[in-house]
Amino acid sequence: MNETSPIWEDKIYLGQWQTAEGPQAAVIGPATGEVLAKVQTATPVDVGRAALIANSAQQHWATLPFDQKAEILRRAAALLKERAEEINRWNIRECGSTAAKAEWELQVTYEQAQMAAALPMQPNGQIFPSSMPGRRNYWKRVPIGTVGVIAPWNFPILLAMRSVFPALAMGNCVILKPAPMSAICGGALMAEVLEAAGLPEGVFHVLPGGPEVGEALVQHSDVGMISFTGSTAVGEKIGETCGRMLKKCALELGGNNAMVILDDADLDAAASSAAWGAFLHQGQICMQAGRHLVHRSVADKYMNKLAERATRLVTGDPWKQQVHLGPLINETQARRVEEIVNRSVAMGANVVAGGKRDGNFFEATVLSGVTPEMPAFGEEIFGPVAPITLFDSDEEAIALVNASPYGLAAAIHSASTERAQRFAERIRVGMVHINDQTVNNEFQVPFGGMGRSGTSGRFGGPANLDEFTTTQWVSVMEQGIQYPF
């Protein structure tokens, strides 16, 4: 794709670009199967190298005046905009994103950088009274040290940098392991941006590689925290290791998010929200509207409106044409979506729109007659499928929402916002959107799930102050104390 060989073709970023022993990996475009480039990968040995460098760079970084840290993060934000054309091109070609999705992702990553730049100037502690005369107690946040960030491929830039930027802002060094399917836009390009922004050498590292590199990062005793975004299965393993090692761990995991349509809902607005929530980025979003729970009295109308929207959506290569849906990330994922649809149909579900796979492409699909025993209800599909399940009362709908062990996001449509808020109080999910869809992210609002969607850790706004720090209590006696012995 580039005329001159990019530096990341044969080097990894260990606080500066360095040669590494690992193999080069092919970067494959999911729309065409074409090899777009090569990228140098890291090995578990490089995790040790990165941790050593990061640990020796961290004190200097942490003690740099707050306005200098903020300035570097603001420069990084500006560089994201300056390099938008290149970053978006990679997001489209490497990850199968549509142009609109790539642009949105870059914009919200820019907002994350701006927000992180404001963190170092926040008040960072409190003063407490003491029962001992002559003693002052203060309590302050301190950096963790080195933070390991492990990111997925679906929103590779945002989901890496929403941890990287605030972790840096709070005085930590960071080692980022992007997913192998998004090593360029979610890894190498971010190293270039932070290097050009003037981040001191050794503070940020990018290790492209698979599970073995991720495991080595989690297991390294000098990495004080893991911030992981990805599947629940991998999150459980990481949580186990971190628990054993008594390591701080933030887990943002899978979802199976309910879109609830009550009997008094505005069905045009609900269907519009539902199409966006279910089909955006081919449904490969943790917050995707994956279960459409609809009151029986309005179900036919809702289904027809949603199916009509689904049928109008164009699927194709987003690099070559303007489309609503690009490819799924690879054939394994596309086959998995097909298999979930086919198994559900064999159990009695009906395909109302779409339903077909062509290579890595899958049509926007609406399924009716879906019951809780079917895989389309119980599993995180991670594809463009909207399964519809009926209910007869609010009680039944609440039970259906809570039937999922996941608890990331939900949406509720009703003419009565009061009724919808009462409903929201009774469901076990981390984020609820009334008269909207499930896919929402605002950088200034804490984000996160419950249950199998993650630990109680939160990203965004004030939550970042606590997420990427630990605390220290310092007490000061004006004069030494004479104890009884």
Which residues are near ligand NAD by CB under 6 A? 150-154, 159, 177, 179-180, 210-211, 214-215, 218, 229-231, 234, 237-238, 252-255, 286, 380, 382, 408, 449, 453-454
Minimum Å gap between C-beta 454 and ligand NAD is 6
State how far the alpha carbon of 229 is from the alpha carbons of 294, 344, 478, in Å: 30, 28, 47
Amino acid in position 195: E
Task: Give the DSSP H/E element, type plus range, for residue 89.
Answer: helix 84-95
Q: For ligand NAD, give the closer residue by CB, 254 or 354.
A: 254
69: burial class by Cβ within 10 Å (0-12, 13-18, 19+)?
Answer: buried
Instruction: Give the CB-nearest residue to ligand NAD.
Output: 214
Minimum Å gap between C-beta 314 and ligand NAD is 25
Q: For ligand NAD, give the closer residue by CB, 207 or 271.
A: 207
Minimum Å gap between C-beta 153 and ligand NAD is 5
Q: For ligand NAD, give the closer residue by CB, 309 or 452.
A: 452
DSSP state for residue 152 in the 8-state scheme? -
Please list, in sequence order, all residues whose beta carbon lies within 8 angstroms of the beta carbon of residue 381, skipping any fewer than 6 positions away. Answer: 283, 288, 290, 337, 340, 387
Q: For ligand NAD, give the closer residue by CB, 150 or 367.
A: 150
Q: For ligand NAD, give the closer residue by CB, 41 or 98.
A: 41
Q: For ligand NAD, give the closer residue by CB, 58 or 229.
A: 229
Q: For ligand NAD, give the closer residue by CB, 414 or 453.
A: 453
Minimum Å gap between C-beta 431 and ligand NAD is 10
Cβ-count burial 292-316 (b if 16+ within 10 Å, e if not): bbbbeebbebbbebbbebbeebebb
Catalytic residue among 105, 192, 215, 252: 252
Structure tokens at 450: 């419950």
Cβ-count burial 468-483 (b if 16+ within 10 Å, e if not): bbeeeeeeeeeeeeee
Angle between helices 189-196 and 66-82 (to 10 degrees): 130
Minimum Å gap between C-beta 238 and ligand NAD is 6
Structure tokens at 386: 């909207």
Angle between helices 84-95 and 156-169 (to 10 degrees): 130
Q: Is 252 a catalytic residue?
A: yes
**C-alpha span between 371 and 291 (Å, rounded):** 10
Cα-to-chain-centroid distance, residue 340? 24
Please list, in sequence order, all residues whose beta carbon lies within 8 angstroms of the beta carbon of residue 96, skipping any fewer than 6 positions away. Answer: 29, 30, 31, 282, 318, 326, 327, 328, 329, 360
Minimum Å gap between C-beta 445 and ligand NAD is 13
What is the CB-side half-sphere exposure of residue 391 using CA atoms within 13 A?
Answer: 20
Minimum Å gap between C-beta 148 and ligand NAD is 9
Residues annotated as part of the active site? 252
